[in-house]
Structures are given as C-alpha cells and as structure tokens.
Amino acid sequence: MKQEKSVLTGAVKTLLEEELPPAQVQSLKDEGFTLKKPTRKGALAIAIYKKAVSGDLSAIKELRSILAGETDKKTGSKAVVIIDDTDN
C-alpha cells in the first residue's frame, strides 16, 4: 500500500511540473498573471489564490495550510492541525 501511494505521489508531482500549454499561459496573462516558469503547479496555485480572494473559506484554509507547510519546512517544526469536532 505504501509503495502504491509513493508511485501515485510521484506521478502527481510529475504532472504538476509539466509545462502549461500556450493557450493556458495566454489565458493567465489575460487575467494579469505572469509565470516565469508556467507549469501546472503554478496554474493550480493561481486557482487556489483566486478562490481565496473571492472569499472561499476552504481555499483560504488551503492557502494557509500550504504557506504554513513552507514555514514548517524552513524551521523543521511540524504543523499543528486543529480539528473542529464540535460540529454535529
């Protein structure tokens, strides 16, 4: 099971590193976004950002989680996960 997850993780990482097609790059430029290295990962980051800016709470939380993960990698500490178990 762990090996399957590792293979899937590798495949997703490879997919995200692929270059965006010119039409998608142009579409992002038309929206005011310019990427030095236009990859699918960059397009995904922009999509999450746009949802967060529009007020989508789940996108805001995801963006916060991504940024907290980067901070944790730099400091070597682990992120604290708060689980809201008060919802019924």
| Nearest-angstrom CA–CA distance, 49 and 75 | 24
**Position 25 pLDDT exceeds 90:** yes
Does 33 fall in a domain? Answer: yes
The residue type found at 75 is T
Copy the structure tokens of residue 21: 């097609």
* SS3 at position 19: strand
Chain-centroid distance of CA 6 in Å reads 19
For residues 37 and 53, give the distance between their C-alpha atoms in angstroms, rounded to a whole number.
23
Question: What does the pLDDT read at residue 82?
Answer: 60
- 79, part of any domain: no
- Structural domain span for residue 51: 2-74
Structure confidence by residue, pLDDT tens digits, 58-86: 999 999 999 998 755 555 655 556 666 66
Average pLDDT, the chain: 86
- Check residue 2 and give its pLDDT: 75
Q: Count of domains in the chain?
A: 1
Pairwise pLDDT comparison (44 vs 6), residue with the higher score: 44
The pLDDT of residue 4:
78
